[in-house]
Copies of this chain bind each other. A is one copy, B any other.
């Protein structure tokens, strides 16, 4: 503590030592903590101080007023700066200038306000001119300050200033800012001050202390500006964290040609390669680099040469500063043990460090840096595993557009499922399947999709829908299949006869080629070159290390042999959810399924089920073979029957023909099956209770397949038969008796013993609350957190779209509960169920198979609950593997 106050609101840093350090990120923000840390390391940091994030909280709690005593602390800290740089704030002959910057716990680049060159006024500017020996620099700095301060603190629109400057340049026939002399700037400054006075009714503040408090207030206030609020919502940063404010002595990169300013990374942030990577500008301030008016120069000679640039590199033009910088790079990497993102300024040949932080990087770079740093003994394997954001792997697992390929953007929609694909436009699922069978690559374009489109989505390279959000049917299914998908592309309008679509005034006929980028939600005309994912050595090394640490198994949600193969390729250790109903939608089966549903009696259903039995058995045989001995959890029929119903007269006719039933009666039955709230209706095990013959057929198919595969391959198939939507033990009891009977019968028929388990989904609050009851019959639980979220919130995923935007705007849902598990509600039920289940059956197998099974934050939570496995869509298996390992490591 610098000044012995019981509460310390101001932390100084500089060559004389720092009050804070790098560990105090929560209090000082990232920037402030790292400035203190660098200063302590002996690096050249301009002296300054940080006003803590606590002050931000007090500021907002107290009607935007600062706490008593803050002013005195700031005065004292300013005095320390003055002492170190031997200048005085507001002094006419030897003025101290400072920068005032925000700096929160998490980086929010560009979202909050900054003021540079503060301390200039009509008098100190003269002192600065004399002191620097550069009148033009001084006036240039002053006009920059007036413009920035007026914009940020006083709320005078910056367009006014740009207009004045443009007009001035026009009058003088100047092209560049550098064409303006000191006298020119003086003239401009005069106009600037006039516009400020005109706008505000009072002159631009000349008192430097007023300037300082104005800037501090403005930066704190910018924590809650529109941009910052939006950014925080998108990046899940709590408002309560607040920002710190850093006040620091100015150093100038724009004091002539021995001055420069730049940014650098200690490794290449896009590839991870261990090279110094950065850019700088001579005679410029930081904002010029960001503004992109002048072309920045490369840091190293090698980089300059690779890029074919002619402007000299820093290595060449300022070799001493460069050497000093490189030494600092090495020191910082060793100190922080991570790749650093650095800002520096060279003032008349002297290097100053303005910022360092762990650098953002692509997924590919993250993998390489982690693996390399481990090889360099900078970090351990565990740390390497922790360094890669599991969610970022998504980028790597799908094809992507070649960044250099030319493209013709048609429109944008929602980035519903990552990956890129090109193909012929097709507007219906049957056609998509037919064309795909003939070897065509197709993109399926629909207004929206329904379960009947599954085969078409599977056949397609990618999917576009005109309607629907990130959790629409198309989005969920496409992510599950790993198909790129753009949803809710409202611009796309399909012509009624299905021959073409129009997008933003252009017409594209069926069969024309388009390309989609599902990661960005973009749709392009024609083919755009794509790059296949490269699961490099770094990827597999990190995965290996992760697997060593991981406790939970990772399974995949998959029904088709293709999906199962993909999943195994990604390292899945079994199937956690095989949704048998997905097998019902194939064109050659839907007829029998409809016949079954629409039968008015048991015999009719049994006849139809007899047709389905060999098909389902065949599916399971294939699936069990692919999984060769790994566990496979098969969920018995779950969705409401009417999802399978025929809608058009032709479809009804087809069923009538196949079943010999009356078309009118069929229609009536289809109508009778409609439900007000199908989600809460006749589905799941309720179907099994009402129509036991359906589950009997399915169980028979599973067990016959298990016997066949066991005989053919000699491998041990252990099917896990899962009963959906159980609310009461009695449901489980009744169905388990029937299931066991069929299993015994099949094994007797085949003369073979096959191990199998019978368990239940936990997807209703009641199931979770009475899990002790259920565990008396269930050999395993699988948490179906999609439905559990719907029932716990009383919120239908299909219908939430209409008000979810309102909810996100209002900050009610910081995260989409269908993506990341709601720990307080749904998570509490998962914990209760796990605890109660284990109390009755200590070795009960516990897993999760909702969408949350592939979400890192949710995986972290269920590791804490001690589940045995997570199950997710095949393309998320690597993400889950890494997240599961990190969850173990985080527990310590």
Contact = CB atoms under 8 A, between A and B. Distances in A.
Interface of A: 675-682, 686, 689-690, 725, 727-728, 730-731, 734, 763-766, 769-770, 773, 787, 790-796, 798-800, 802-803, 806-807, 810-813, 822, 824-826, 828-829
A682 B805 CA distance: 12
A792 B791 contact: yes
Given A730-B811, A793-B766, A825-B765, A803 B679 contact: no
A347 to B, nearest CB: 49
A766 B790 contact: no
Contacts of A690: 802-803, 806
A69 to B, nearest CB: 31
Nearest to A685: B812
A681 B806 contact: no
A209 to B, nearest CB: 37
Q: Give the oligomeric copy count.
A: 2
B822 A766 contact: yes
B676 A794 contact: no
Given A731-B812, A765-B792, A799 B676 contact: yes
Contact of A680 (B734, B763, B796, B812): B796
B796 A677 contact: yes
A676 to B, nearest CB: 4
A795 B570 CA distance: 38
A689 B677 CA distance: 23
Contact of A689 (B676, B679, B730, B810): B810
Contacts of A800: 681
Contacts of A677: 677-680, 796, 798-799
B796 A676 contact: yes
24 contacts: A675-B796, A675-B799, A676-B678, A676-B679, A677-B680, A677-B796, A677-B798, A677-B799, A679-B796, A682-B802, A686-B806, A690-B802, A727-B825, A728-B813, A730-B811, A734-B810, A734-B812, A765-B792, A766-B792, A766-B793, A769-B828, A770-B824, A770-B825, A791-B791
Contacts of A769: 792, 824-825, 828-829
A725 B811 contact: no
Contacts of A725: 794
A764 B793 contact: yes
Contacts of A799: 675-678, 680-682
A787 B794 contact: yes
Contacts of A766: 792-794, 822, 824-826
Given A727-B795, A810-B730, A812-B728, A679 B680 contact: yes
A770 B802 CA distance: 25
A765 B810 contact: no
Q: Which of A675, A770, A813 has the most CB of B within 10 A?
A: A675
A850 to B, nearest CB: 14
A883 B798 CA distance: 42
A184 to B, nearest CB: 51
A350 to B, nearest CB: 51
Nearest to A800: B681
Nearest to A725: B794
A790 B793 CA distance: 12
Given A689-B812, A725-B794, A728-B812, 13 more contacts: A677-B796, A679-B680, A679-B794, A680-B680, A681-B796, A681-B799, A690-B802, A728-B813, A766-B822, A769-B824, A769-B828, A773-B824, A787-B794
Contacts of A798: 675-677
A806 to B, nearest CB: 5
A642 to B, nearest CB: 11
Given A677-B677, A769-B829, A794-B764, A803 B727 contact: no
Contacts of A811: 730
Nearest to A763: B794
A686 B793 contact: no
Contacts of A675: 796, 798-799, 802
Shortest beta-carbon contacts, A-B, top 10: A680-B796, A766-B825, A681-B799, A677-B796, A765-B765, A676-B798, A764-B794, A677-B679, A675-B799, A730-B812
A812 to B, nearest CB: 4
A803 B688 CA distance: 11
Q: Which of A677, A791, A807 has the most CB of B within 10 A?
A: A677
Nearest to A640: B799
Contact of A829 (B765, B796, B812): B765
Contact of A795 (B680, B689, B730): B680
A690 B801 CA distance: 12
A799 B640 CA distance: 11
B681 A727 contact: no
Contacts of A792: 764-766, 769, 791
A652 B765 CA distance: 40
A766 B678 CA distance: 21
A679 B799 CA distance: 10
Given A678-B799, A799-B677, A825-B770, A791 B812 contact: no
A144 B623 CA distance: 67
A476 to B, nearest CB: 14
A473 to B, nearest CB: 10
